[in-house]
């Protein structure tokens, strides 16, 4: 019973966060892609390579980028008291045809 209460308590400590970046006017004709970005030890060590929007969008422009910590990321993260050993984030990015 104590283990179940501990798991429930840890789930309530999971928080969500979002950062959104927009490049110019919002377009309706975009391609939406998603990937996880992996961090360790309270975000001090970056396990994944930094996302390169120019590479990921190929010959298109990026329309918007949303970096968020979702509930699923919170469940997947491993936390030892006061230290997030593994802390994933979700990156959702949209690519569009060049408007220039």
Dump pLDDT digits (tens) for 66-96. 999 888 887 788 777 777 788 899 999 999 8
The span from the CA of 51 to the CA of 58, in Å, is: 13
Locate 71 and state its tokens. Answer: 């509930």
Quote the pLDDT of residue 34.
92
| Listed residue (91, 84, 92) closest to 44, CA to CA | 84
Report percent pLDDT > 90 for the chain: 29
CA distance 45 to 35: 18
24 three-state secondary structure: coil
- Average per-residue pLDDT in the chain? 84
What stretches of the chain show up as alpha helix (H) in DSSP? 2-13, 53-56, 71-76
Residue 10 has pLDDT above 90, yes or no: no
Within 8 A by CB and 6+ apart from 35, the residues are: 51, 90, 91
């Amino acid at each position: 019973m104590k283990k179940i209460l501990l798991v429930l308590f840890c789930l309530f400590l999971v928080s969500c966060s979002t950062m959104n970046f927009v490049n110019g006017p919002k377009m309706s004709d975009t391609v939406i892609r998603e990937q996880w970005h992996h961090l360790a030890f309270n975000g001090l060590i970056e396990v994944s390579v930094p996302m390169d929007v120019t590479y990921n969008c190929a010959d298109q422009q990026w329309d918007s980028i949303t970096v968020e910590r979702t509930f699923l990321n919170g469940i997947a993260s491993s936390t030892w008291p006061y230290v997030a050993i593994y802390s994933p984030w979700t990156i959702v990015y949209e690519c569009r045809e060049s408007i220039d």
